[in-house]
A = this chain, B = another copy of it.
Amino acid sequence: MGLSERKEREKLELKNLILDAARKMLLAHGQDGLSIRKIADEIEYSPATIYLYFADKDAILHELMEMGFGVMNEYMKDSFKEKDPIKRIHSIGHAYILFGLENKDWYELMFNSDKPMKHIEKCCEDWDQGMAMFAFLTQTCKEAIEQLKIENVEDHILALHLWSSVHGLVNLSLTERLEIVQRNSSHELIGKTLDAIIKTIFRK
């Protein structure tokens, strides 16, 4: 038996060293500034070594994506606790947008890259954190619909309505399209729009 406990630990340590360097590079220079060779340089190993711990660059990006959901959870954990479903939706929406605007590179990895989604079989396990979040939103929508006795509205359609709205707002802002059509502070505009959306949906 060649795999002693210590060996296994060391193997994991180098893997984490790689991921840590990758994370720092992502935050410092974005996805474009993240390269295998630079990671190798940073941790003082050869580029080839990285391929002993990860299949390819996508595998690294994928693990970073999962870390991103951890960061996002920090933004949303208070919102999840909110008792009133409508207030909860409101709070989740604002937290989602704030996370997106303040963490462009995480957001890109989690919601815009199609790299980690290459194989549809695998992705349903891989994106389980995202799925769980959407399931929670759908549940919240169900509660809101029941509480306000809104008719002819399906919970999963409403959830998608909300998700696509905030996702659209975040993307329009991150790619600077909002700055183009509306010169003044887009951050404020986004908040106002989200408030208007929720007000529209839940008006009597």
**A residues in contact (CB < 8 Å) with B:** 111-114, 117, 120, 123-124, 127, 130-131, 134-135, 153-154, 156-158, 160-161, 163-169, 171-172, 174-182, 189, 192-193, 196-197, 200-201
Q: Report, nearest first, the 5 A-B pairs whose CB atoms are least far apart.
A: A168-B168, A164-B168, A167-B168, A164-B169, A134-B181
CB<8 Å pairs between A and B, sample of 22: A111-B171, A111-B172, A112-B112, A112-B175, A117-B175, A123-B176, A127-B177, A130-B181, A135-B181, A153-B196, A157-B189, A157-B193, A160-B189, A161-B196, A164-B164, A164-B172, A164-B193, A167-B168, A168-B168, A171-B171, A200-B200, A200-B201
Given contacts A168-B166, A200-B161, contact A179 B120 (CB under 8 A): yes
B200 engages A160 (CB within 8 Å): no
Copies in the complex: 2
Interface of chain A, main secondary structure: helix
Output the least CB separation between A136 and chain B (Å).
Answer: 11
Residues of chain B within 8 A of A180, CB atoms compared: 117, 123-124, 127, 130-131
Residues of chain B within 8 A of A161, CB atoms compared: 165, 193, 196-197, 200
Q: Which residue of B lies closest to A166 (CB)?
A: B168
